[in-house]
Amino acid sequence: MTRDDIAKVLEAALMASDRPLSLDALRRLFDEPAPARDELCAALEGLREAYAERAVELVEVASGYRFQVRRPWAARVARLWEEKPPRYSRALLETLALIAYRQPITRGEIEEIRGVAVSSQIMRTLLERGWVRVVGHREVPGRPALYATTRAFLDHFGLARLEELPPLPEVKDLEQLETRLAEVVEPRETAPQALEEARDATA
């Protein structure tokens, strides 16, 4: 099978899939002997270049590869969905940003930094969205849960790894955090299922 044939199979699969596909998942599309991983990577890079000037692009996120709408066209494409995306409060987004940058972190540590209590509803929302998870417990009295972000968090915000988060200098107050928060919460290139998610504070 030629590289062009491999690329066409990958393109079709990625266009048809409703989730990112890993290299292993893509390799299973082929009969044995399947293309080597470096062949798949070369074909994917060719696709990325082929779509460089298109309204959609091929990106790598934590769970694999996907096609997604480029930001300039996201708002128009979002009109296909009648249901409005959820709006998240400043408190929720601050909590999410603190978990992303300070993980693993306890709820008490988040409250200490923010200076106010973190509601159970905020933690429940983040857990239900699959953006954070409990990764252990702090070995102190009460053994509070330690929270960290998930692969789903990276996928949603178009990141392949945590190192791609915008750099954050030592946070001295929440004003600095909120400045960086806008960069974190704004998906750099929005996926179709998460287009134009509102970020205005509601509480």
Three-class secondary structure of residue 202 per DSSP: coil
* Paired tokens of 133: 């998870």
pLDDT of residue 171: 47
CA distance 192 to 71: 10
CA distance 27 to 64: 12
Q: Which segments of the chain have a pLDDT < 70? A: 82-86, 168-203
pLDDT of residue 82: 67
Three-class secondary structure of residue 169 per DSSP: coil
3-state helix, strand, coil in the chain (%, to 5): 50, 15, 40
CA atoms within 13 A on the CB side of 178: 11
CA distance 122 to 120: 5
* Paired tokens of 170: 């030592």
Length in residues, the chain: 203
pLDDT of residue 180: 52
- Nearest alpha carbon to residue 21 among 59, 54, 50, 71: 59
CA distance 168 to 180: 7
The phi and psi torsions of 57 (rounded to 5 degrees) equal -140, 155
Residue range 22-70, pLDDT digits in tens: 999 999 999 888 889 999 999 999 999 999 999 999 999 989 999 998 8
pLDDT of residue 79: 80
- Is residue 13 within 8 Å of 20, Cβ to Cβ? no
Structural domains of the chain, with CATH: 3-80 (1.10.10.10), 90-194 (1.10.10.10)
